[in-house]
Amino acid sequence: MFDVIGKRHWFYALSLLLTIPGLFFILLSPISDAGLQLTIDYTGGTRWEIKFENPAVTPDEVEQVFAANGLEATAIRTGSGYIEIKTKPIGLQPAPSAAPSAAPSGSAAPSGSAAPSGSAVPSASAGASASATPSAAPSGSPAPSASPGASPSASPSGGPSIGNTELPTDGKLGQMVVALEDKLGPIASQASLTTIGAVVSSDLLRQALILIVVGSLGIVAWITYRFRDVKFGVTALVSLLHDVIVVVGAFAILGTFFHVEIDALFVTAMLTVIGFSVHDTIVVFDRIRENKARHLGEPFDQIVNHSILQTFGRSVTTSLTVVITLLALFLFGGSAISNFILALLIGIIIGTYSSIFVASPLLVDWQAREDRKHGRLVSARAARPRRVSS
Per residue of the chain (390 residues), give pLDDT as tens.
789 999 999 999 999 999 999 999 999 999 998 999 988 888 889 999 999 999 999 999 999 999 999 999 999 998 778 999 999 988 665 545 444 444 444 444 444 443 344 444 344 333 333 333 343 344 444 444 443 333 333 333 333 344 457 899 888 999 999 999 999 999 999 998 988 876 667 787 788 889 888 988 898 899 999 999 999 999 999 999 999 999 999 999 999 999 899 988 998 999 899 988 899 999 999 999 999 999 888 999 999 999 999 999 999 999 999 999 999 999 998 888 999 999 999 999 999 999 999 999 999 999 999 988 887 654 444 444 444 344
Q: What is the dihedral of CA 100, 105, 110, 113, to 10 degrees?
A: -150
Quote the pLDDT of residue 133: 39
pLDDT of residue 14: 97
- In whole angstroms, give the CA distance from residue 339 to residue 211: 20
Torsion of the alpha carbons at 89, 94, 95 and 101, rounded to the nearest 10: 170
CA nearest to 359, candidates 235, 265, 274, 257:
235
Whole-number pLDDT of residue 198: 67
CA angle 7, 9, 14 (to 5 degrees): 105
Q: Please state, in angstroms and rounded to a whole number, the distance separating the CA atoms of residues 264 and 37.
A: 12
3-state secondary structure the chain: CCCCCCCHHHHHHHHHHHHHHHHHHHHHCCCCCCCCEECHHHHCEEEEEEEECCCCCCHHHHHHHHHHCCCCEEEEECHHHCEEEEECCCCCCCCCCCCCCCCCCCCCCCCCCCCCCCCCCCCCCCCCCCCCCCCCCCCCCCCCCCCCCCCCCCCCCCCCEEECCCCCCCHHHHHHHHHHHHHHCCEEEEEEEEEECHHHHHHHHHHHHHHHHHHHHHHHHHHHHHHCCHHHHHHHHHHHHHHHHHHHHHHHHHHHHHCCEECCHHHHHHHHHHHHHHHHHHHHHHHHHHHHHHCCCCCHHHHHHHHHHHHHHHHHHHHHHHHHHHHHHHHHCCHHHHHHHHHHHHHHHHHHHHHHHHHHHHHHHHHHHHHHHCCCCCCHHHHCCCCCCC
> What pLDDT is stored for residue 57 in this prediction?
95
pTM of the predicted structure, to 2 decimals? 0.73
With beta carbons less than 8 A apart as the criterion, state whether 252 and 25 touch: yes
> CA 61 to CA 73: how far, in whole Å?
11
